[in-house]
Amino acid sequence: MIKEKNYDFRARHWQVHIPGRRDAERTPLPNEVLLDENWSLGFPKDAGIVIVNAANDLQDYLFVSMGISLKLTNTDGEKVLWFQENTQRKKGFDLIVEDKHITVSTFQMDAFKATVHIEDIMNLEGAPVLQKGTFDRTPIYDSISIHSGCGIDDYCDNELLAIAHAGYDTINIMVKDFDVTAAGPANINDIIERAERFGIKSTIFNYMQCYHHPDEDNVQQYFDAVYGELFRRYPKAIGIGMCGESLSFPSKDPHTSGKPYKLSVIDGIPDTRPSPGWYPCYDYPAYLECVKKAVHAVKPTAKVGWSTYNWGYAPLDIRKKFLESLPKDIGLSVTYEIFSKRELEGLQTPVMDYTISAKEPGYYFTSECEEAHKLGIPISANCNVAGIAWDFGVVPFVPVPERWLTRCLHLRKAHYEWGVNSLYATHHYGFWNCITSDIVKWTGWEGFEPDYDELFRKSAIRDYGKKHADAVLKAWKLWGEAMDHYTASNEDQYGPWRVGAAYPFIFQPNITRTMSPKEIKFPTAPHAHFGSGIIKTFYTPYENENQTPGFLRYPAELRALHRMLKLWNEGLDAVQELKDTPEGERLEALGHFIRNSINTTIHIKQWWQLNMKMQTSTSKEEALAILDEIEKLAYTEIENAKDTIPAVETDSRIGWEPSMEYVTDKWHLEWKIRQVHAALREIATYRGCLKL
């Protein structure tokens, strides 16, 4: 059995070339060219650094994964795989495969795309073979951006190489202050310049504030001091992305509080109007014009992007007015699934945050893309296609490739229909190089798509072996069906779905001499970017004006969760046979962890129902009987937490997320067990109170 320590996963995350990919039985077909040690890899002496690095990477791949050693040369000729810059191309490459010569004619910055494409083909075939012919590989998207998968804003060379191999070409750097990222003080220019050597662009993910209204006298000086200065300091950054919750301002729109949400009170009374960051204020376009002017005064080519993520709930006519007023040359980022309308047994259960449970794009996405396209606004899709969402907050990826493919195909259609020209592929939870990365790559070529059923089968063979491919395909299918029964509510995604079986079970009656609240702070590392700030431990419905109240939803959600659990267990049964390989053991651990997260979500809903029911009991006897049920549920959840420990020890990436760090490792699961035992002591005390 594999047993990893915390952070051991990084070595696997950075291993871009896997040994032993060669299938000894795979021989070249008549229409294929087989590379052997009679071939060389070459590029001109004056080739750019990205081409040189890409050729060196291919040499290492062929040695490590295919077991052949090819020399490098600066001389073109017979049996040379030759890299050359194509200055006519603005993106992509041509791959020309002939019997005794292969040419990669590439846009300089996309040389790694060419190398990775060649490696992907060989990995799927299990041999160093390429099909004869001329192949135009032009990306349909201008960029596919990512956050680091090894740590918040951690862009070491190993991580940049992993990003290039996963198929992403742009990194997001969270800039909180000049030379300060979410990880702390940093040499941001060094990150940008090192990324460039791998063909990766850099964009600023904005955390800088300029709390001024655009009507103020001489206001542009304040914006220049922030946004102009960003591009004076980081001239190679290609652009800046912003959204409302990290960029509030003193709006005069009467529909809002005009204040940051934490200060939206009047004489201690909460102002129920939304903060400006959560509403399309009439003066937001003027504010964004100030940002754009400051940026473009320094770097006219910089992309300025704005995400309407925070107010996608608003009616279309209000959102439309904002888009119509959006300054020229500002791009729009639209979220694929959030605010999608969904029903469960006639109840309204809209999507509240990122999830792969939503197959189709939501009305917010489709309506905003349609309007933006009419207005000529560049569109980026905020789409989570790197394989993770907030469905299970601390897993490397959600193993439901059919659902990821459906999403990628919808995005491909959105590109052709509305001009969606870039993808924001993941939020700060990063990525894992897996089947979902493959799907993004293979659905992203102009005028070319593979046979996706064949892609899935070959991927299963590549990652888990021929004898296990059918079991893996069965599990993927069942787990994909299971997600039909998932509800993306705020209380669940900020609670049991976020940390799984480590989620605490707080006894709700407040037995206290200090009148302290029952919410407890989830223990996280002091250096974690968000840490416990995005984990809500006192389970209760977070109601929303577009959503059926929790006490009505929970019975239906529990029935759905039991259907989800049944399907997930069937998929988990299918992968039991894989436990004879390390890759199979990790897939089983991932499925096991998610299964136990479903258990925790079922149990916490039952816990809330029982706590509410007990506190509205009409007799001691009724309350004591319910207390027995609560106590029994506590012991059941303790066993569920214990059963999760082997999964997180098998794969140290499970239980970790970049912005929270570890929240569901062995220590946190044992912490949860101690917490539930403390709740059981409270239950015993309350039992005594009932008997007074």
- Residue 301 and residue 197 share a domain: yes
Report the predicted TM-score, pTM, of the whole model to 2 decimal places: 0.96
**pLDDT value of residue 248:** 87
- Residue 150 and residue 111 share a domain: no
Integer Cα distance of 125 and 421 in angstroms: 31
pLDDT digits (tens, 9 = 90+) for 621-641: 999 999 999 999 999 999 999
Tokens standing for residue 413? 């259609």
| Residue 142: exposure state from Cβ atoms within 10 A (0-12, 13-18, ≥19) | middle
**pLDDT value of residue 2:** 86
Integer Cα distance of 341 and 471 in angstroms: 34
Last residue of a domain, one of 465, 492, 510: 465
With respect to residue 475, please indicate whether it lies within any of the assigned structural domains: no
- Residue 220 and residue 162 share a domain: yes
- Residue 431 and residue 516 share a domain: no
Nearest to 323 by CA among 275, 278, 382, 368: 368
Band of pLDDT at residue 437, cut at 50, 70 and 90 = very high
- Residue 172 and residue 32 share a domain: no
Mean pLDDT over residues 388-416, rounded?
A: 98
Band of pLDDT at residue 655, cut at 50, 70 and 90 = very high
Q: How many domains does the chain have?
A: 3
pLDDT digits (tens, 9 = 90+) for 516-556: 999 999 999 999 999 999 999 999 999 999 999 999 999 99
Mean pLDDT over residues 168-195, rounded?
A: 97
How large a percentage of the chain has pLDDT more than 90? 98
Alpha carbon 24 to its chain centroid, in Å, reads 36
- Residue 587 and residue 536 share a domain: yes
**pLDDT value of residue 261:** 87
Band of pLDDT at residue 663, cut at 50, 70 and 90 = very high
pLDDT digits (tens, 9 = 90+) for 550-587: 999 999 999 999 999 999 999 999 999 998 999 999 99
With respect to residue 673, please indicate whether it lies within any of the assigned structural domains: yes
Integer Cα distance of 463 and 519 in angstroms: 43
- Residue 147 and residue 119 share a domain: no
- Residue 304 and residue 231 share a domain: yes
Integer Cα distance of 392 and 357 in angstroms: 11
Last residue of a domain, one of 440, 465, 490: 465
**pLDDT value of residue 1:** 79
Last residue of a domain, one of 432, 465, 498: 465
**pLDDT value of residue 180:** 97
Nearest to 18 by CA among 69, 63, 59: 63
Mean pLDDT over residues 272-280, rounded?
A: 94
- Residue 412 and residue 323 share a domain: yes
Integer Cα distance of 458 and 64 in angstroms: 20
Integer Cα distance of 159 and 406 in angstroms: 28
The domain in which residue 448 lies consists of 143-465
Average pLDDT, the chain: 97
- Of the listed ranges 41-45, 267-271, 626-630, the least confidently predicted one is 267-271
CATH number at residue 294: 3.20.20
Q: Amino acid identity of 281?
A: C
Listing DSSP states for 148-193 in one string gives -SSSTT---HHHHHHHHHHT--EEEEEEEETTEETTEE--HHHHHH
CATH number at residue 115: 3.30.379.10
Integer Cα distance of 14 and 175 in angstroms: 24
- Residue 563 and residue 425 share a domain: no
With respect to residue 23, please indicate whether it lies within any of the assigned structural domains: yes
Radius of gyration of the chain (CA): 27
Mean pLDDT over residues 423-433, rounded?
A: 97
With respect to residue 650, please indicate whether it lies within any of the assigned structural domains: yes
Band of pLDDT at residue 435, cut at 50, 70 and 90 = very high
- Given a cut of 90, whether residue 246 has pLDDT beyond it is no
